Structure 1
Amino acid sequence: MDLIKRKGEKVGPIKDVMHKFKYSFQGFLYCYTHETSFIFETIGVIAIIIFGIIFKITFMQWIFALISMLLIMEIEFLNTAVEATVDLVTQEYHPLAKIAKDCGSAATCMATFMALIVNSIIFIPYIIELFK
């Protein structure tokens, strides 16, 4: 495995890991400050955590609820990277650029739909029980 090189310098393994976390955090901050949907996804994760605590969901329900929500955020990171790469290559309309951006958006949409289904299956019985 090659160690990260920045401006021609080679760094040691500990500094390499620190650089990777730094760049990951920068990616997180970029999405948080530039992608409106990322803020809504973060609010969704917080809501799931709050509802999970209120309804005292099981360990397995926690796993499914959080993985489904975090998957949306992970795909949003990838979608943002695809969009930035396409924009780097061309600002002009191109059918292949449209396909790349549309497919990235579709992946985020599908993950959101899946999370909605998973979390509905988890939380609707608790909500119904609440109103009995």
Structure 2
Amino acid sequence: MASKDKGVFSLHRLAQAFKCAFQGIAHVYLHEKNFRFHTAAAIVVTGCGFIFQISKVEWMFVLFCIFGMFVLEMINSALERTVDLITDEYRKLAKQAKDLAAGAVLMFAILTVLIGLIIFLPKIFD
């Protein structure tokens, strides 16, 4: 599309944007093992949320953790592909970029586990 059209609202452009976004979600689900693992974990945690009847505030934390994990996994995958696109050979900075992104995912995963323990452990032991 021409740059002059970028500021103009169009239902067709909006539909195309949603189509691309859903294609990205489908791609990451089909091609990234970690994303599928997080999806399975999200299903289990959501089921536990209903079983233990967590509060609205607890649901907000759980949903933030679930969707935050999905978003970070997608950003990590996008960064990995971008780095791979730029260089086919081993480069120290490329490795560092990939490791930093993976580290961010790991740190958020640790946070989500801690939040899950804070929410669910008292309910399990009651």
TM-score range, shorter chain: over 0.9
Residue 16 (structure 2) aligns with: 19
Corresponding residue for residue 88 of structure 2: 91
Residue pair 1:82, 1:104 contacting (<8 A) in 2 also = yes
* Highest RCO, 1 vs 2 (Cα 8 Å, sep ≥ 6): 2
Unaligned stretches of 5+ in structure 2? none
Q: Which runs of 5+ in 1 are unaligned?
A: none
Matched, 1:68 2:58: no
User: What is the CA–CA distance in structure 2 between the aligned matches of 1:67 and 1:29, rounded to whole Å?
Assistant: 20
Report the count of equivalent residues.
Answer: 123
Match of 1:109 in 2: 106
For 1:78-121, what per-residue CA distance to the aligned partner results, in whole angstroms no more than 9, with x for missing partners? 00000000010111000110011001100110110000000110
Normalization by structure 1: what TM-score?
0.88
TM-superposed CA distance for 1:12, in Å, is 5.6
| TM-score, scaled to structure 2 | 0.92
The sequence identity of aligned pairs, in percent, is 36
- Within 2, Cα distance between the matches of 1:53 and 1:66? 13
Q: By how many angstroms is 1:59 displaced?
A: 0.3
